[in-house]
Amino acid sequence: MRQALAYFEQLKDSQDAWHVCAEALAKGIYSDDHVKFFCFQVLEHQIKFRYAMLTAVQQQLVRETLMTWLQSQLMNAQPEKTFIRNKAAQVFALMFVTEYLTKWPKFFFDILTVVGLNPRGVDLYLRTLMAIDAEVVDRDIVHTAEETRRNTLIKDTMREQCIPSLVESWYEILHTYQHSNSELTCQCLEVVGAFVSWIDLSLIANDRFVNMLLGHMSVEVLREEACDCLFEIVNKGMDPIDKTKLVESLCQVLQAAGLFSIQQEEDVDFLSRFSKLVNGMGQSLIISWSRLVKVSDMKGAQDTLQAIESKGPLMLQLLAHEDDDISSNIIGFCYDYLHILKQAGSTGAAYGQ
């Protein structure tokens, strides 16, 4: 085994290994999962460390290899193992980061043209988007100054050129698969939640999208992911009056669906996510209230304070829950709520008291 690994490491660094591996993937030469995984690793290594050494023709071959492999996934009798799909998505994401701003501006258009709404294709498309999020957006990953500059440019270019089309594709995927494929629907909700932090919120925070997400809150296999997605939407910075309206409209629908009746809910995993969502809504309203007070918008501040106070009973129910995850997820809202009650009390009726 050790000899085999040493051989593979040596092969990675050889001049033409990438070509052998590209051909193997494009033609489906090997059936062994570990060999396929290794072929993707070799391509990954080439793109990451030695891509500039390739000629324009060779770089084109890498692009064509990936698209041929993607096309073959739609026709194969069995989908690839998850670890191969994840590795493929990482390689697609690396290729995107390397080429999107220069040689491959139609990256997403090309992928969507191939995959359409084919479930296997959609799976790989969504995995690739999450891998791109990890490469370009994830704040937990430390980037060099050069990478940060490149990532900012990629996001700016995506906003201008393709984000509306991507959002449309997410809506189509959710609409198509929400009743028939919970795995793809949850993957898509995860993508929306990841991207919403840096794209134009109006593309997502609109009636057709939000109504669909709220519908998912009543479906057991979708509601945890829908909860997280709504949390990301609520967490996004926006005008304080608009934020209050958004939170209140969400709360009305959630309450009408019976989701505020905590005692009837036995699923602690869902309640933990729901508690996080209520915490996000409460803290967002408090930020809006503070901003409105600062600009002396007393009517807006009063409306927002009433919205905050109306969440009090729900907040206390979640805080009193015997499950630690559920009660700890709401503590931020509790703390901020007590703080503004003190503030509002000391500043008097002008702030809505």
The pLDDT tens digits of the residues spanning 192-214 come to 999 999 999 999 988 899 999 99
Beta-carbon neighbour count of residue 350 at 10 Å? 12
100-119 as b/e: b if 16+ CB within 10 A: beeebeebbeebbebbeeeb
How confident is the model over 86-114, as a mean pLDDT?
96
Residue 351 has pLDDT above 60, yes or no: no
pLDDT value for 97 = 96
Long-range contacts of 21-29 (CB under 8 A, 24+ apart): 22/61, 22/62, 22/65, 23/65, 25/65, 25/68, 25/69, 26/64, 26/65, 26/68, 26/69, 28/72
Looking at per-residue pLDDT, the higher value among 27 and 226 belongs to 226
**Residue 267: pLDDT band by 50, 70, 90 thresholds?**
confident
Residue 19 has pLDDT above 80, yes or no: yes
- pTM of the predicted model over 0.95: no
Long-range contacts of 48-52 (CB under 8 A, 24+ apart): 48/94, 50/18, 51/98
**Residue 138: pLDDT band by 50, 70, 90 thresholds?**
confident
Rounded Cα distance between 10 and 12, Å, is: 5
Among candidates 198, 221, 220, 191, which has minimal Cα distance to 209? 191
Computed over every residue of the chain, the mean pLDDT equals 90
Residue 352 has pLDDT above 50, yes or no: no
How confident is the model over 306-331, as a mean pLDDT?
93
How confident is the model over 203-231, as a mean pLDDT?
93
pLDDT value for 349 = 42
